[in-house]
Structure 1
Amino acid sequence: MTERSATTSPKFKAGESGMWYHEENPGPIASLPFINQFGSMKFSKVRMDENMRPHLNDGIEIHFIESGKYDWVIENRSVELLPDDLSITAPWHWNGSPAGKMDMGQINWLIIKPEAFSPGAPLQLGNWSKLSSGFQEELGNMIAAEKGMVLKKARVFKKYFAELKDELLHQREGYERIIANLIENLLIELYRDLKHRKLKIDEDDHFIEQLTSMVQHDLTKKWIVDDMASHFGMGKTKFTDEVKRLTGYPPNSFIINLKIEKAKAQILDPKGMDLSDIAYHCGFSSLQHFTTTFSHRTGITPGKYQSQSKKHESP
């Protein structure tokens, strides 16, 4: 069997080359019922294809980008797939090109058909897999929880697609077992990556929770970035970068947001203080400073915010 190309197969148009096995052209995956599709296509010019618009597939869909840039959408969220990026979606996650367009570049994809997997049923790959049921269930939970995900710079997965492509292309003796092993190893690699990602997210959440708690404990204190960084065992630059990465704001601006949120809560408290006292307890130097900052961050003065909230409370 030879690799499909634009010059050897009438099913491919000029500017396209590669391989694509699916229900209407199963080829070697006919003996691999746990694979719905496998494709490895290179495009030397833009191709319009309605089949590539956002869609659902009866399986776990994985894309790996070797070259080019693909504008994609996953569950109504726009994403940009770049070289070495890996996208993963569950059977109920819409994904595809919003314009039905395949840009210049090379893209690989694999659709694994599990025996069972739905929002209400744990992942069960089937008898072909030797992975434990616990492993499968946890992997399925991670895929489902993300509502479609993109792993950036996931070059480690490139080898799996290259080896799958080679086995499907040449179909040497025992290729079915080798392909099953390759897919299991790919899923183990994916599990490890997602597990590390979850741990990192948990660490990030804990960091912001600690920072928020520390600042809220004394909003009147004049917080110094160097001191806060030292508290977390970081240098000023790393601390600033981390806070900005996780909150979207540099430390001082993040602290102001915390002060504003506290002020809002006190303004809405029916037993609350007057605005001058709120300004003091939230760490503002004066009522004017409080009013100016509050207006800048919310688009409304504290007084108007207070009067509007009272109107909403009136019967």
Structure 2
Amino acid sequence: MSTKASNNMTMIHKKTLLQRMASCWQLYLLLIPGILLTVIYKYIPMYGVQIAFRDYNASLGFWNSPFVGFKWFQKFFTNYKCMALIKNTVLISLYSILWTFPIPIILSLMMNQLRFEKFKKVSQTILYAPHFVSVMIVCGMLRIFLSPYGGLISMIASALGADLSVGILDRPEYFRTIYIASSIWQDAGWGMIIYMATLSGVDPALHEAAKVDGANTWQRIIHIDFPALVPMIMIQLIMSFGNLMNVGFEKAFLLQTDLNSASSEIIATYVYEQGMLKSMYSFSTAVGLFNTIVNIVLLIIVNRISKKAAGISFI
């Protein structure tokens, strides 16, 4: 580093925080809408978390409702549904990570090797278009296709000799497969975009040099493209485990039936049932708070493991 550059760096560090902010105030001005939205919709609602420790009565308000400590947490952990809810939530999340996480990576590596631009653009559009289909429509399509009364998939399964005395969607053993398969179809193409953007930053000279050295396509993917994706893969993995307990409520709720509830009832749907349908606000808040705490703990653990193993972390 030259003496002039070194002096400039020293002058920057001598400036106070306010002076540094004033020098690029336009950028900080752009942050204000995002900060306001985060405070309004993320931090202010935390005020209501206290009802998890109170016997909430709407007529008394938050502060005047009697304090009951960990009563609602004890009620949840002693509930006969507790372990089944945690099991269903964790299994759906883990299976989703296992099956849906690698597919966008594989798609991006394959798409990056396409040399016909028109075909590449059409393929990308086809792959990420399902992301813009609402969850309600996807669930409606699944119900139609899996209907035992003329559903396309049910007709194919029946032709292959499957017993459809109970519909495919109503069978608990098939719920996770249906949930994860539909998630792959809907979100894999959209997740691919992040990795495609990362691969666009790889220097083409590396591939040219590898070709000169006799490397084939597979070797270039393994030794050039994949290492470039590793930081983004680790960040996405940390975020995935940080949301391990946040299984998509909408799809689970819309696909849930009385017959498949043994597999489809998760913490999110249980909170909705207890809070919105039965008006047990304190109990449902306690369950939701437990869910959030587990996510935070998992996020910290996975972040530290990633930092030690790969030197990549959020903190």
The structure where helix makes up a greater share of residues is 2
Higher relative contact order (CA 8 A, sep 6+): 2
The structure where strand makes up a greater share of residues is 1
TM-score range, shorter chain: under 0.3
TM-score normalised to structure 2 length: 0.24
TM-score normalised to structure 1 length: 0.24
Instruction: Give the greater-gyration-radius structure (CA).
Output: 1
